[in-house]
Amino acid sequence: MYEKLFEQKAIGGVVAPNRLVFEPMGNYYAELDGSVSQRDIDFYVERAKGGCGIVMTEVASINSKTGRGNARNLCTDDDRFIPGYKKMADGVHAYGSLLFVELYHPGCQGIAPLNGGSMASPSGQESELIHMPSHAMTLEEIHATVQDFVDSAVRMQKAGVDGVVLHAAHGYLLCEFISSYTNHRTDAYGGSIENRVRIIKEIVEGIRKECGDYPIIVRFSADEYMREIGKDGGMVLEDAVEMAKLFESYGVDALDVSAGNYETMNWAWEPTGFDEGWKMHNGETIAKAVNIPVIACSVIRTPQGAEEFLKRGVDFVGSARQFFADPYWGNKVKEDREKEIRKCISCLNCMETLMAADEENGIRCQCTVNVEGGEECDLLPLSKDGNNRKVVILGAGPAGLETARVAAERGFQPVIFEKSDVIGGQLNLANKPPKKDKITWLIDYYQAMMEKYGIDVRLNTEATPGLIAAENPYKVINAIGSSPVLPRAIPGLDQAYILTPPDVLTGACQLRDKKVCVVGSGMTGIETAELLQEQGNTIELYEMADEIGPGLFFQNLIDVMGRLAPGGCKFFPKHQLLSVEEHAAKFKNLENDTEVVANYDYIVVSLGTRSNAISEEIAAAYPDMVSIGDAAKSGRIRHAIEGGYRAAVAL
Ligand SMILES: Cc1cc2nc3c(=O)[nH]c(=O)nc-3n(C[C@H](O)[C@H](O)[C@H](O)COP(=O)(O)O)c2cc1C
């Protein structure tokens, strides 16, 4: 059905078996010395096995002394790294796919303390996102950096890697050279477009000299979207077309079209507010301008979106997050198992965890919907020793559904009792605010899994000791979720005009032209406010913490605030709700210790959730019952899915 996706296509002298590219994705999986880890190998090989014709590694540093991205960043600047890449290449080749290593230097977006105290960049301009000291490179430094790229390519060729990607996107060093936003040089490496791309020309010439026709891909941001944050300069599509033609004339084998830099990160790896296909025009325009293959990404999640992209002229469909979320996307499409695809919901937990990753907290890049992502080395293969033993799961939210899915895959027979008439639990609330419809994909995925494994899902059925006993279960899992908290310490929250987010999100209470106060600016509070605003209400959002959206990942906060603020919502951080009486909410302004009173038609209290209590009889009858997800502790979707996965693995 999607024939084009599975056509072969050459890049230079190598042939990719299909048009699916696992784009580079920083992950914090390498060994501390920069060498390839078993975690890396299993991670990339899984993507090849699942049907990505081309697998690209994360950013690999061409200079581990001046250009590391983090403490567990792949490096390419020493021959001792070659055997690791060889193993990785062999693993990817075993599934008929190609491996490309992405060569990079972070430039001014690097962490200075990791890299000798000052980051090299074309003009010494600091990144306004991370503010690290940076210096303008001398000509000697530029020449040495060119040589580092070339030497790295030589090593990759020796390792049997199929080619290299020169990373000139996302505001890193090569991007800084080609971008008018960061390159203010007046020598041969700055000014005109030709001058700005000179460093790439020299790298390509160097690689050609040392490695012959070894495949080279240039990945670059066709648009840095600086105008979106009110700034001038930077890459725009018109210049990108010129550059693409130059890259082609230098003998580059393919282009990989991306967008953005750190300051415009939401246009590079997009939060949920961006729809599939929104930047297809960038790839399409570049593809029309050159005669070499063009890879491009654009929040591609569905086979229809991917096929459309190819029809519009790009040669390869790229995605990092989709193939992180489901490495088997390609095989599923090819085998007509489209409904089984687990789509990326653009929640950016991957980027949030990557940025938080360090040795002390043990965090590394992780996916909300795919617990195995990055953990293949420890979690796969699943043992299939369920032997049809029954597992009773209480609750069909994401935790319970994931338990059932994995248990079924292991050969257990799950039975789910769900008191409502639908599966998905709170996913059915999370998908209601504007731009959150991607969450519905997750519900659909679990529905498909329930059907695939023939899982016995008993809707409209609250579990009783008798119902559970009738199944004679090997194990009982408690995944009954959580409910909103209305703190008793705050007087007046028992009035009819006091609502919780589910009242709004389920549509049980539909408001219009009302003055509504939302108390609590966690993601649920903010998104409920957004929905209410969209429905035509006037919103004031209160938060006790110093800032709106405490603890939220900044990319998601920027995304939702970008819609909420222009709609007129007023924000009151540092305000604690004291009481409500006769539609009047009384707050304490924590900054100046004064009291503020305001009248509202409705007050939505979004102060978190508390685990639902399991019946005492059930708990007594099944003392080894395991509680997971919100039933154990309120958390995000990843917490629920991980709880479900691990409970099923532990059966
Ligand atoms: C956690 C994370 C890490 C990334 N790391 C890299 C990287 O190392 N090199 C790179 O070129 N792009 C990187 N990207 C960008 C992706 O390759 C891709 O362009 C972006 O995620 C948008 O496409 P997608 O939504 O299909 O994943 C990263 C993106 C994310 C979310």
pLDDT digits (tens, 9 = 90+) for 627-645: 999 999 999 999 999 999 9
Give the model's pLDDT for residue 144.
98
End-to-end CA distance of the chain: 39
Q: Quick: pLDDT tens for 457-498.
A: 999 999 999 999 999 999 999 999 999 999 999 999 999 999
List pLDDT tens digits, range 189-223. Answer: 999 999 999 999 999 999 999 999 999 999 999 99
The C-alpha torsion from 643 through 647 and 649 to 650, rounded to 10°, is 130
**pLDDT > 90? residue 188:** yes
Strand order in the sheet with 575-581: 575-581, 584-589, 594-599
Q: Tell which one of 20, 22, 25 to mutate to probe ligand 1, the residue whose CB is within 8 A of the most ligand atoms.
A: 25
Contact 373, 645 (CB under 8 A): no
Ligand 1 atom, smallest distance to 350 CA = 1
Tens digit of each residue's pLDDT (9 = 90 or more) over 20-30: 999 999 999 99
CB 319 within 8 A of CB 22: yes
Cβ atoms within 10 Å of 116's Cβ, excluding its own: 13
Q: Which two tokens stand for residue 6?
A: 């599975």
Q: Kindly state the average pLDDT of the residues 270-295.
A: 98
Identify the pLDDT of residue 54: 98
168 Cα to the center of ligand 1, angstroms = 13
Rounded alpha-carbon distances, angstroms, from residue 517 to 312, 492, 495, 563, 572:
46, 15, 14, 18, 10
φ, ψ at 164 (rounded to 5°): -120, 150
The protein residue whose alpha carbon is closest to atom 23 in ligand 1 is: 319
pLDDT of residue 281: 98
Hey, which CATH number is domain 498-607, 3.20.20.60, 3.40.50.2300, 3.50.50.60, 3.90.1150.180? 3.50.50.60
Residue 620 token pair: 């007594």
Closest CA to 342 of 312, 310, 372, 384: 372
- Rounded to whole angstroms, the Cα distance separating 410 from 403 reads 10
Residue nearest to atom 18 of ligand 1 (CA): 320
Q: Are strands 602-605 and 609-611 parallel, antiparallel or unpaired?
A: unpaired
616 CA distance to ligand 1 centroid (A)?
A: 47
Tell how far CA 595 is from the center of its chain. 41
* Pair of tokens at residue 471: 């199944």
Give catalytic status of residue 172 as yes or no. Answer: yes
3-state secondary structure at position 49: helix
Question: Is residue 277 a contact partner of residue 187, using CB atoms and an 8 Å limit?
Answer: no
In single-letter form, the type of residue at position 155 comes to R
State the average pLDDT over residues 83-95: 98
* CA 399 to chain CA centroid, nearest Å: 20
525 in ligand 1 pocket by Cβ < 6 Å? no
For position 237, what pLDDT does the model report?
98
266 alpha carbon – ligand 1 mean position (Å)? 11
Mean pLDDT of the chain: 97
CA of 321 to the centre of ligand 1 (A): 7
Alpha-carbon gap, residue 310 to 294, rounded angstroms: 10
Q: Cα–Cα distance between 253 and 122 in angstroms, integer?
A: 26
Alpha helix positions (H), 50-178: 82-93, 139-158, 173-178
Backbone CA torsion sign across 233, 234, 236, 240: positive
- Of 23, 74, 225, which is best to mutate to test ligand 1, by the most ligand atoms within 8 angstroms of its C-beta? 23
How many angstroms separate the alpha carbon of residue 624 from the centre of ligand 1? 42
The residue to which tokens 């000299």 are assigned: 209
pLDDT at 291: 98
Alpha helices in 179-235 (DSSP H): 193-196, 198-211
Pairing relation of β-strands 254-259 and 216-223? parallel
User: At the topology level of CATH, where does 3-378 sit?
Assistant: TIM Barrel (3.20.20)
The protein residue whose alpha carbon is closest to atom 14 in ligand 1 is: 25
24 lines ligand 1 (CB under 6 A): yes
User: Considering 29, 85, 172, 602, which one is annotated as catalytic?
Assistant: 172
Q: What confidence score (pLDDT) does residue 50 get?
A: 98
Do domains 3-378 and 384-483+611-649 share one topology? The answer is no
> pLDDT band at residue 3, thresholds of 50, 70 and 90?
confident
| Cα-Cα-Cα-Cα dihedral sign, residues 257, 258, 259, 263 | negative
Q: Is the CB of 428 under 6 A from ligand 1?
A: no
Nearest to 306 by CA among 282, 327, 322: 322
Decide: 179 and 235 in contact? Cβ < 8 Å.
Answer: yes
Phi first, then psi, for residue 442 (nearest 5°) are: -70, -40
Mean predicted confidence (pLDDT) in 284-306: 98
410 touches 651 (CB < 8 A): yes
Q: Quick one: tokens of 84?
A: 């690791």
Residue-level pLDDT at 7 = 97
Tokens 């409502």 label which residue? 420
Q: Does the Cβ of 300 fall within 6 Å of ligand 1?
A: yes
Please write the tens of the pLDDT for every residue from 551-577.
Answer: 999 999 999 999 999 999 999 999 999
Q: Which fold has domain 384-483+611-649?
A: Rossmann fold (3.40.50)
Q: Per residue in 399-445, pLDDT tens?
A: 999 999 999 999 999 999 999 999 999 999 999 999 999 999 999 99
What size, in residues, is the chain? 651
Report pLDDT digits (tens) over 10-22.
Answer: 999 999 999 999 9
The reply to whether ligand 1 has any atom less than 6 angstroms from the CB of 365 is yes
Residue 355 CB–ligand 1 contact under 6 Å: no
Q: State residue 93 phi and psi, 5-degree precision.
A: -65, -30
Question: Residue 382 and residue 279: Cα distance in Å, rounded?
Answer: 38
Residue 645 burial by Cβ neighbours in a 10 Å radius (0-12, 13-18, 19+): buried
Q: Is the sign of the CA dihedral 350, 352, 355, 358 positive or negative?
A: negative
Ligand 1 pocket test target in 59, 321, 364 with most atoms within 8 Å of CB: 321
Task: Work out which ligand 1 atom sits closest to the CA atom of 59.
Answer: 8
For atom 4 of ligand 1, which residue has the closest CA? 25
Helix (H, G, I), strand (E, B) or coil at 282: helix
- 25: tokens are 């994705």
- Residue 25 Cα, ligand 1 centroid: separation in angstroms? 5
Is pLDDT at 520 greater than 90 in this prediction? yes
Each domain of the chain, given as residue ranges in start order, spans: 3-378, 384-483+611-649, 498-607
Q: Give me the pLDDT at residue 1, please.
A: 79
Q: Report the C-alpha gap between 34 and 37 in whole angstroms.
A: 9
540: tokens are 């004031």
